Amino acid sequence: MDITDTQMRSLFNQGLTAAAMAESLGCSVSYIYGRLYNMGLKMRDRYANVTDADLNQHVSELHTQFPNCGVEVKYIYIYIYIYI
């Protein structure tokens, strides 16, 4: 197959699932996982490494600091805490 590392990395960085990447590139999901592995990329690495205790603490602080804040705003604060 003529799938470049650049194509693989681009789809990976866009956050596509392995199934979506495979459909987009016309190959199997196992091929995607193998190529990503060979490139040193893991789907699992895209997830945040925040412990439940840290997240619970942060949410508790949000409730204390902003008791009247809507749930959408709290989601934004949590997203920023985890990913930025």
How far, in Å, CA of 6 to CA of 13, rounded?
Answer: 10
**Which whole number is the average pLDDT over 4-9?**
94
pLDDT at 84: 63
Question: pLDDT tens-digit profile of 31-52?
Answer: 999 999 999 998 887 777 778 8
CB atoms within 10 A of CB 75: 10
> Nearest 5°: phi and psi at 28?
-85, 160
> Nearest 5°: phi and psi at 24?
-65, -35
